[in-house]
């Protein structure tokens, strides 16, 4: 077993984290869109706002893991909190890039 596979979580755990990231990104994006439409702001976001949204989703994911005391479970499985946060952050990053490319065309 090489060094990289020792740090990656099992597929089932990784999919739970990715699903959580998708849910948090969709809810956060919908909330920001609703707030923006209610105040009359344009529906597109600046690149800086998109980057901040990605980090906000990562932070919310870490807080949710802490709330559920999953950080101890991850530690027992050998998954660092940074790795778990990156798996939660990944769907938001991909989603924001996809939205940015779609609106750029």
Residue 23 has a pLDDT of 95
- pTM for this prediction: 0.82
Ordered by start, the domain boundaries in the chain are 13-104
- How far is CA 57 from each of CA 28, 46, 51, 62, 98, rounded to the nearest angstrom? 7, 17, 10, 9, 16
The mean pLDDT of 42-51, rounded to a whole number, is: 81
């Amino acid at each position: 077993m090489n060094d990289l596979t020792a740090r990656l979580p099992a597929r089932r755990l990784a999919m739970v984290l990715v699903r959580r990231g998708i849910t948090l990104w969709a809810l956060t994006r919908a909330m920001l869109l609703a707030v923006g439409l209610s105040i009359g702001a344009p529906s597109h976001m600046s690149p800086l706002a998109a980057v901040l949204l990605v980090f906000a989703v990562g932070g919310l994911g870490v807080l949710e893991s802490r709330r559920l005391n999953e950080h101890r479970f991850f530690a027992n499985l050998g998954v660092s909190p940074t790795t778990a946060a990156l798996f939660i952050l990944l769907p938001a990053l991909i989603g924001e890039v996809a939205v940015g490319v779609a609106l750029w065309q």
